[in-house]
Structures are given as structure tokens and as C-alpha cells.
Amino acid sequence: MSENVTNNHFFTEVRQILDQARSKTVKAVNSAMVEAYWLIGKRIVEEEQGGEDKAEYGKETVKHLSQYLSKELGRGFSVANLWNMRQFYLTYGKEDFLYALRRELSWTHHRTIMRVEDSQARQYYLSACAKENWSSRVLERQIRTNTYARILTNKKHKTNLSEESQSTTGASKLDLLKDPYVLEFLNLPEDPSVREKDLESALINDLQKFLLELGGGFSFVARQMRISTETSHFYLDLVFYNYLLKCFVVIDLKTTKLAHQDIGQMDMYVRMFDDLKRGKDDNPTIGLILCADKDEAMVKYSVLSESEQLFASKYRTILPTEEELIAELERKLIE
């Protein structure tokens, strides 16, 4: 081995050691600062409580504290940021948050999540963000598209349709699947003239964003996978594997309203896939129909209402407003 090759290998190893050390340092500093911000928020609240007029006293206290810290320590202690620290404590202070703090998340992550009003939704975003290593930009999109509400509503709706408790396996599937899926990143119009082939190509071209929208544990397997019997060939639009559920997920794309034949076709695909492709250590295959629209009454009276393997979800190719999305989710539970 030449000296240059040996040195290059040696240099690379040393660089990796330094990179790992720096990463640990950054994480340690981040954790310490998030904890410090929580404690600062606590002290601001405690100081406010000593004032005669809490609102006015609080404003003046934060203003003077900002001036002092900015002079002593420099940037990062604006009045707005100190109010964020105060809100940070008020949001989590009664939940013994300091000892269960997600220290791997940055201050930007925490500042974004604490604005979510529902405490259970906050816990979902805290957990998912840490587990999936979401960037702050991805986190903002997940909150903006009401990911928690879409998963929760789909779970409740599926349970209501079946009118029986879900098994442990079924519940874990419902903890991941959403309805609707928001695919605004494709830049496609919500137009019935869009062809399934175009939708499929757009999803493949933006596969990374589609995987984020699908949720945790998904990895891409194939496009237009062929499964064959002795007499016929069939082509599956998209196939994924979910390592959390330990099963394949077959996705069929429909740019029209969900029809009975679509459900029957997916039922056949799932049965064939389980028979021909599923490994001995894999859980039963999930079939997901992504459709432009669906009639909930038809879903209720079809095999979809009882099956733990078949699901149908709408997709949206434009980003709905928060009000539109909430109204759609509420309507789904009523129907």
C-alpha cells in the first residue's frame, strides 16, 4: 500500500473522530441551552408573580432583562425571544417537562411545537420529530398540514366503521396511515384531467418528500412491480416496505373517485402479493388506495370497513387552509 493511500486513510479517520466530537459538543450545548431557556422562562413567571400589576410588570421586567442580557451576552435575548422562553415554561411547566425534555430537539423545534394548542398533539410532534429527525422546516410542514389530526381522525374513523376494537397490529397501522394525504409539493392541479401515470411519475420524482408525507418507517421498493399468475400479469403502481410494521405496503393510484372495482382490485392485489411475494417473517401486506375523492357511505358498506389490510385515503395536490382541513376531517367523522 502506498504512503499516500495510508495517509489518506489515516487523515479520514482523524477527521471522523473530530466530526463526531463536534457533533456531540453541538448536541450537548443545544441540550444545555434548551434547559436554560426553560429555567429562564420559569424565573420570568416567578418574578411576574411578585408584581402588583402582572401584565404591565411583566412587560417592563422582560424589557429591562432583555437590555441587560443583550449588553452582557450579545444577541439572542430580544424581548420577543424572552417572551418565547416565558411561554415555553408556561406551556410545559406543569407537565414536569424539564425532566422529560426532548434535549435532542433544537430551540427552534421547541419554539414551533409549543404553539400547538392541543397537548396530545404537542406530545406527538415532540416524539415524531425526535424519532424521525425532522428538520425545523419539515416540522413546520407537518404541523401546517395537521399530520396528527389526519392520523387521529383516520384511526377513529376506521374504528367507527368496523364497530369493534382494533387488534394491536391494526392499531399500529392506524397510527401511521393518514386521510387525506397532502401532496402539494408535486405542483399538480386538483384537476380530474391529471392522469394516473403523471401522478405516479411526479411522486417518484419527489420521492423524498413523498416518503416524509407517508410517515415513519417507509422505504421505497418498486414502481410498476409485476406479479404474475400462470395465466396473467398484473402491475402494482407503487410498492413500499415499512420496517416499523414489518410488512409491504402496496399503493394503487386513482385520479378519480373511489369505485367498487378499485376496492376489489386492491383486495386481489393484496392476496396475490401475500401469496407470491411476502416473506415468512413479514406481517400481512397492507393495500392503500390513494384516490382523488371517495364516498364514505360506500367505504362503510364495503370490505374496507372490516379489513385490517385494506385502506383508502384521499389525496390533495394543493395545500388546504387549516380551516378547510379541519372541516374535512370533521365531516369524515360525521359521515
CA distance 220 to 203: 11
% pLDDT > 70, the chain = 87
Instruction: Assess if CATH 1.10.10 describes domain 3-144.
Output: yes
3-state secondary structure (DSSP) of residue 335: coil
Averaged pLDDT, 5-17: 72
Span of 50-54, 126-130, 201-205, 322-326 with lowest mean pLDDT: 50-54
CA distance 41 to 53: 18
pLDDT in the model for residue 165: 40
Is the predicted pLDDT of residue 170 greater than 60, yes or no?
A: no
Q: Model's pTM, two decimal places?
A: 0.79
pLDDT in the model for residue 7: 66
CA distance 239 to 222: 5
Q: Do the bridges between strand 181-182 and strand 310-316 make them parallel or antiparallel, or are there none, so unpaired?
A: parallel
CATH of domain 166-334: 3.40.1350.10
Using CA of residue 212, residue 217, residue 220, residue 222, what is the dihedral sign?
negative
pLDDT for 65-114, tens place per residue?
A: 999 999 888 888 899 999 999 999 888 876 666 666 677 788 999 999 99
pLDDT tier at 274, thresholds 50, 70, 90:
very high
Average pLDDT, the chain: 85
User: What is 122-165 written as a DSSP string?
Assistant: HHHHHHHHHHHT--HHHHHHHHHTTHHHHHHHHHHHHHHHHTSP
Span of 58-67, 88-97, 285-294 with lowest mean pLDDT: 88-97
Is the predicted pLDDT of residue 169 greater than 50, yes or no?
A: no
Is the predicted pLDDT of residue 258 greater than 80, yes or no?
A: yes
pLDDT in the model for residue 334: 66
Beta strands in 72-139 (DSSP E): none
Where do the structural domains in the chain lie, given as residue ranges? 3-144, 166-334
Averaged pLDDT, 283-292: 96
pLDDT tier at 202, thresholds 50, 70, 90:
very high
pLDDT tier at 164, thresholds 50, 70, 90:
very low
Is the predicted pLDDT of residue 199 greater than 90, yes or no?
A: yes
Using CA of residue 234, residue 238, residue 239, residue 242, what is the dihedral sign?
negative
CA distance 126 to 121: 9
Amino acid 249 reads V
Averaged pLDDT, 207-234: 94
Is the predicted pLDDT of residue 23 greater than 80, yes or no?
A: no
Is the predicted pLDDT of residue 171 greater than 60, yes or no?
A: no
Is the predicted pLDDT of residue 144 greater than 70, yes or no?
A: yes
More confident residue, 10 or 309: 309
pLDDT tier at 168, thresholds 50, 70, 90:
very low
